Structure 1
Amino acid sequence: MPALVARRVDARSGLALTWGRIESGHACNVIPQRAELSGTVRCLDLNAWRAAPDLVHAAIDEIAGLYRAKTEINYVRGVPPVVNDPAVSDLLHDAMTARRGPDSVEDTEQSLGGEDFSWYLEHVPGAMARLGVRKPGERVVRDLHQGDFDVDEHAITVGVELFTAAALLDAAR
């Protein structure tokens, strides 16, 4: 089903449907009468995000219809994708490059991770920048959302520098 949903949008939208929980039956040799699935939908562009609920409903109904199964769908919309404003991204890039040099900036790919910062971008032009919060030289790489992640607090200084430099550069333009 994830492929069925993904094929109904522009392939560049990066739409991904993942079933994170599937619960059904109690015995390996009995066909269950009921199943419950929970999952997440992530995508890279706003058009796919807006279309996702209808696409998921249609795909589930289509598959269930083949087996004359009844469905009950509770689609809870998550956060939209983070889509940076190119002008603001350029401003942040130029500000950090001017402040710390070209090696201080690394362009990264857009992430499928959910980030509530995207709600701000629905209302005002902006850009999300990553500050580099892993401790330098740390051999074990821990994910930002792991309980034992230890932030490098030096990143706070980097953030203050970045936004101060961006404000000054924007005012000078």
Structure 2
Amino acid sequence: MNTQTLLVLFLMAICTVQAQKIDPEVESMAIKLESKVIEWRRDFHENPELSNREFETAKKIAKHLNSLGLEVTEKVGKTGVVAILKGDKKGKTVALRADIDALPVTERADVPFKSKVKTTFLDTEVGVSHACGHDTHTAILMGVAEILAKNKSKINGTVKFIFQPAEEGPPPGEEGGAKLMIKEGVLKNPDVDAIFGLHINSGTDVGKIRYKPGGTMAAVERFVINVKGKQTHGSAPWTGVDPILISAKIIDGLQTIISRESPLVNEAAVITVGKITSGVRFNIIPESAEMIGTVRTLDPKMRALIIRRMNEMVPAIAKAYGAEATINFQNNTSITYNDPDLVKQMLPTIQSIAGKENVLLSKATTGGEDFSYFQEVVPGFYFFLGGKSPSTKNAPSHHTPDFYIDESGLLLGVKVMSQLTLDYLNAQ
């Protein structure tokens, strides 16, 4: 056998070793745990709880984590649960996050574990259901915790499991979600070096994973515009200042920020006015009008530009028509920004487990996710896990009564999150 042949065989052997990324014991444990993960998911699904009210959900999570011998802290960010697993060797700290709250949506999906829970939300009686898949995220991370807890000898560093409440937003007048957990020090003691998270997706086939470096989900701003005009009789508009007409001019002007000032070749951006309230009678020009809407951005510079121009434009348009107007913003999420270097480092792990052909580079979405607040503090990687049966043509959207997830997709989530953790910590 000549030298060239030996070199080729050696390189092939290296490639084979590199391609076999998943730890055989991790894979075996994940397969054995699949039915347990599905059982947990069904229990959470049948017993959903709204944001900042996840009391029983948190108890179940804490009980499992305590049974694994982890250092468990409860009531973080009101109802959150955090657990720490220290490996046998020192190293970095990686955080894994799952959101645990449900939505005020009455479920219609025909499953044996269908939610029948009802509650009062904003003075309205509603059903409660996991119409966004947070129950799957929780069950997956519980499975990951069990696998890693039984593989301490393979961990160079520390794993922090974050079960986060109120991802959908806390009730009015309350704090909650990732912001509150960060405020209470969830990324400290020990300091987190990187964080991973996933989201099940009802529109992506089981077995596939979607990802995007950089901005992958939008920053979400809620804005309120108040226009003050001058009330008068509808038959004599020249004797007053019409806030409804001025509101229309403001809406028209705001859209030019998107169409004429925003570099949309970089990233998408949206300004939407979703509600206008004004007037009481057909023949009265009212004194005031209120508009409520949202801004969605995927690029920090574009976000700053759009908010600055809205602040400039709204009072200026109103003044031009003889009125006054104010605009106030409330930040709901920041940009879910996947650190490009972290994505580049960890992508081979995901590709080796799911298969390179099943890991899809995708476009950004203008939906929001408060995982973004963690990523403002530490590098993070957030990706989408397939939850749609390939035989399903038109899968119901998230946040709808008919939302449905194929549970066979959960196993891949357990495998990927477990191996990502090991590979990140052991790459040191």
TM-score, normalised to structure 2, is 0.37
Answer with 104-113 or 7-16: which moved more.
7-16
- Indicate conservation of the 8 Å contact 1:91/1:166, yes or no: no
The counterpart of 1:49, out of the listed 291, 294, 303, is 303
Q: Does 1:5 align with 2:257?
A: yes
In the TM superposition, what is the alpha-carbon distance from 1:115 to its structure 2 partner? 0.9
The structure with more strand, counted as a fraction of residues? 2
Q: Distance in 2 between matches of 1:55 and 1:124?
A: 30
The counterpart of 1:117, out of the listed 371, 385, 389, is 371
In the TM superposition, what is the alpha-carbon distance from 1:90 to its structure 2 partner? 2.5
Q: C-alpha deviations, 1:55-78, integer Å up to 9, x for none?
A: 322121121122121113232122
2:270 corresponds to which residue? 16
Q: Distance in 2 between matches of 1:120 and 1:55?
A: 28
Unpaired runs of 5+ residues, structure 1, are none
Q: Does 1:80 align with 2:334?
A: yes
The equivalences for 1:120-135 within 5 A come to 120-135=374-389
In the TM superposition, what is the alpha-carbon distance from 1:43 to its structure 2 partner? 0.3
Answer with 59-68 or 35-44: which moved more.
59-68
Secondary structure of the residue aligned to 1:60 is: helix
Answer with 44-53 or 26-35: which moved more.
26-35
Q: Distance in 1 between matches of 2:376 and 2:427?
A: 26
Q: Distance in 2 between matches of 1:169 and 1:77?
A: 35
In the TM superposition, what is the alpha-carbon distance from 1:28 to its structure 2 partner? 6.0
Q: Distance in 2 between matches of 1:121 and 1:113?
A: 16
Identity across the alignment (%): 29
2:279 corresponds to which residue? 25
The code of the aligned residue for 1:93 comes to: L
Q: Distance in 2 between matches of 1:144 and 1:169?
A: 31
Higher relative contact order (CA 8 A, sep 6+): 2
Answer with 113-122 or 97-106: which moved more.
97-106
In the TM superposition, what is the alpha-carbon distance from 1:95 to its structure 2 partner? 1.1
The code of the aligned residue for 1:72 comes to: T
Structure number, greater radius of gyration: 2
Q: C-alpha deviations, 1:8-54, integer Å up to 9, x for none?
A: 44432433111111223355665443221110001011233345443
- Indicate conservation of the 8 Å contact 2:354/2:412, yes or no: no
Q: Distance in 2 between matches of 1:29 and 1:133?
A: 53
1:89 corresponds to which residue? 343
